[in-house]
Amino acid sequence: MSTDTLSQVRRPIRVTQWRVIKAEWIKFRSLRSNRISTAGAVVAVIGFGLLTAGVATGSIVPDGPPGGGQPPDFASFLDHTAIATSGIMLAILIVGSLGVLSFSGEYSSGMIRATATAVPKRLPILWGKATVLSLVAAVTMAIAVFASFALTGNMLADIGLRSDLGDPNVLRALLGNIGFVVGIGLLGLSLGVLLRSTAGGITTLFATFLIIPQLINLILPDNIAEVVYKFMPSNAAQAFIVTDPRYSFGSQSMELLTPAAGALVFLAWVVLLITAAAVSLNRRDA
């Protein structure tokens, strides 16, 4: 058990934030499920974009509703950006789950004991995981979203729907979609810390942040629902991921925030949850 190796090391052996980020990157890339999921998110965005573009141009004809009527005339089939990012909800599901798993997986496997004895100050672990997840999500979604935009553009040119990156709101909406995925990943990460359970984290993430907001106008009185609705994270995100509110999904009768306000509200949710996660990680027993 020679001590030579470690006494010969030039840089001091100690924990730094940068080293924890590198360690978390090793952990992320060394799990096959992470690699498959990440690739899956890219494929889903591009594939779904192409599929939707096919439907919009009429080159793919979906089965009509029972009775043989015309397929419904979705407003989002009329906008190049909305078509290109039509698969983003799949990416949300995948990256949100990856976020939850990056902590809940440590708790369920006992890995957290190894991680926390190596980095007992703990907060660098949270920042390390957040950095790795954000970078992975941002880079892969940038590739997916811009590739989908370019590929669908060729198809949509035929029916005159093609937009240009320089057109109003297009670049903002595309970047918004990337930011949306990154943000949901971070919300998932925070819930992984807070709930420590994969099933609990994923359920909470998608129930509270994606499903409940759609039900708000059914549960709450109209005047309250109007306000609550637009401040929910997913609806705040709707405000900046589309070029125009009419292309958003969800209830068309409900008003959305402005893109800038939506981005701020969404960011506030992320900051709030990460702060709660940081407090929890620091205080609770590992």
Partner 1 sequence: MIELEQVTKRFGDKTAVNGLDLEIRPGVVTGFLGPNGAGKSTTIRMIVGLDNPTKGQIRVHGKAYADHDSPLRTIGTLTDARAAQGGRSAYNHLLAMATSNGIPKRRVNEVIDIVGLTDVAGQRVKGFSLGMGQRVGIAAALLGDPATVILDEPVNGLDPEGILWIRNLMKNLAREGRTVFVSSHLMSEMALTAEHLVIIGRGELMIDMPMADFIAEHAESLVTVESPELSRLVPLIHEAGGHPSRSDNGAMVVTGIDSKTIGLIAARENIPLYQLATTSSSLEAVFMSMTHDAVEYQATADIHSVERASE
State the residues that interact with partner 1 by CB under 8 A.
1-3, 5-6, 9, 11-16, 19-20, 22-24, 26-27, 30-33, 105-106, 109-121, 283, 285-286
Interacting residues of 194 by C-beta distance below 8 A, sequence separation 6+: 201, 273, 276, 277, 280
Distance separating alpha carbons of residues 162 and 152, to the nearest angstrom: 8
Shortest CB 163 distance to partner 1, Å: 42
Contact 234, 251 (CB under 8 A): no
Distance separating alpha carbons of residues 265 and 38, to the nearest angstrom: 27
Between 87 and 128, whose beta carbon lies closer to partner 1?
128
Shortest CB 273 distance to partner 1, Å: 23
- At 145, list the tokens: 């979203």
Between 19 and 162, whose beta carbon lies closer to partner 1?
19
Distance separating alpha carbons of residues 193 and 57, to the nearest angstrom: 45
Shortest CB 187 distance to partner 1, Å: 22
Q: What three-state secondary structure class fits 70?
A: coil
Q: Distance of CA 145 to CAs 23, 84, 170, Å?
A: 28, 7, 12
Q: Distance of CA 123 to CAs 21, 96, 128, 166, 283, Å?
A: 12, 21, 8, 41, 11
Shortest CB 114 distance to partner 1, Å: 4
Q: Which residue, among 202, 179, 180, 207, has the nearest Cα to 190 in the 3D structure? A: 202
Q: Which amino acid, one-letter code, is at 251? A: S
Shortest CB 138 distance to partner 1, Å: 22
Between 121 and 246, whose beta carbon lies closer to partner 1?
121
Between 23 and 182, whose beta carbon lies closer to partner 1?
23
Contact 137, 183 (CB under 8 A): no
Shortest CB 268 distance to partner 1, Å: 30
Between 68 and 283, whose beta carbon lies closer to partner 1?
283
Q: What three-state secondary structure class fits 252?
A: coil
Shortest CB 193 distance to partner 1, Å: 15
Contact 163, 81 (CB under 8 A): yes
